[in-house]
Structure 1
Amino acid sequence: MKKFLLIILAVACTGPAEKFSNHGEEISSNGAITTNAFLDQVNDQEADFKVRGTIEEVCQMKGCWMVLKNDVGASIRVTFKDYGFFVPKDISGREVIIEGIANKEMLDEDVAKHYAEDGGKEYDESMRDAITFVAHGVLVKES
């Protein structure tokens, strides 16, 4: 009887599980690092990452890219593998977990202008310096 009560108590104390909607390939939330830890690790060599962060901006045309917030103001632009899936356009401010390949690079001027236009911003040359994250899977936390 005591064992049964301990099991019930342990389950009750764990709290509700986080709920996410999945976009792209199915991924898990396990092992995700913060956006700040990601910024410390990303460099000009492509590498696999799983990152947990908050969405700052989503493409309002199709949901074909998003930008994650971080403490240092670096732009972490996320696109989706092979343009094969999109995210909802109304999820700014929501928490996400993304998994994919990232690196630092200089964007082509036309690409940077396209992103500026989709985001309703005026292009400037500094937008070419970017962290490119191509996600193969995205989890969006349910509100």
Structure 2
Amino acid sequence: MKKILFILALAGVTIACKNEKTEVEQPVEVQEIAVNYQSIGDEITDKEVLTKSQMAEKFKSLKTGDTLNLKFSSEVKEVCQKKGCWMKVDMGEEVAMVRFKDYGFFMPKDIAGQEIILNGKAYIEEMSVEDQRHYAEDGGKSEEEIAAITEVKRTLAFEADGVLIPQVEKE
């Protein structure tokens, strides 16, 4: 009798200790959101794109005359309000002046604040006073601001051959 009670007690303890809940993990549903882009210039993809901070690091390694072919994304800070023939994009502490290969295409004038993808050549340039004043005039700066430009300036530059602008669906 003692053996039967001992076996029952041992079975009870074993069952009580095995009071594990086994939850079946539900598969996590991953939804990919497709982004449609307006493509301007050469056709490019949204694959293998550097971030703004990665691009800023690349610019730091460049000297005047060096070029790098690459693709990156950044926020548009300003667009030429006359034709859309240049734009400035955010590089963190600085902005990069973007022009378009062979003056072959233009940007919409209302994309400031949008995140875009650019493909092309990054380089450093020494921008003349005359060019700085021209871009300031195109950007709508005042006569006083334009007159205040008196020195050559080291600038981050990019010649884009293709640009992707996310399309916003209107409801």
Coarse TM-score class (shorter-chain normalised)? 0.7 to 0.9
Show the counterpart of 2:156. Answer: 131
Q: Distance in 2 between matches of 1:126 and 1:31?
A: 37
Q: Distance in 2 between matches of 1:88 and 1:110?
A: 25
Show the counterpart of 1:65. Answer: 86
Partner SS state of residue 91, structure 2:
coil
Moved runs in structure 1, 4+ residues, more than 3 A? none
Show the counterpart of 2:138. Answer: 118
Normalized against structure 1, the TM-score is what?
0.85
Q: Output the amino acid matched with 1:114.
A: H
Q: Output the amino acid matched with 2:81.
A: Q
Structure number with greater CO (CA < 8 Å, separation at least 6) is 1
Q: Distance in 2 between matches of 1:133 and 1:35?
A: 13
Deviation, structure 1 residue 127 = 7.0
Q: Output the amino acid matched with 1:136.
A: D
Question: Between Structure 1 and Structure 2, whose CA radius of gyration is higher?
Answer: 2
Unaligned stretches of 5+ residues in structure 2: 1-26
**Which stretch of the first structure deviates more once superposed, 45-54 or 115-124?**
115-124
Structure with greater strand percent:
1
CA displacement, residues 110-143 of structure 1 (integer Å, 9 cap, x when unaligned): 1111111111222324672211100000001112
| Contact 2:129–2:151 under 8 Å retained in 1 | no
The partner residue of 1:37 within 54, 57, 62 is 54
Q: Output the amino acid matched with 2:108.
A: P
Unaligned stretches of 5+ residues in structure 1: 1-8
Q: Output the amino acid matched with 2:110.
A: D
Amino-acid identity (%): 35
Trace 1:1-143 onto structure 2 (pairs within 5 A): 13-42=30-59, 43-44=62-63, 45-72=66-93, 74-121=94-141, 122-123=145-146, 124-125=149-150, 128-143=153-168
| Contact 2:80–2:86 under 8 Å retained in 1 | yes
Q: Output the aligned Cα RMSD.
A: 1.8
Aligned length: 133
Distance 1:107 1:13, change over 3 A: same
Q: Distance in 2 between matches of 1:81 and 1:34?
A: 22
Normalized against structure 2, the TM-score is what?
0.72
Q: Distance in 1 between matches of 2:150 and 2:53?
A: 24
Q: Output the amino acid matched with 1:87.
A: M
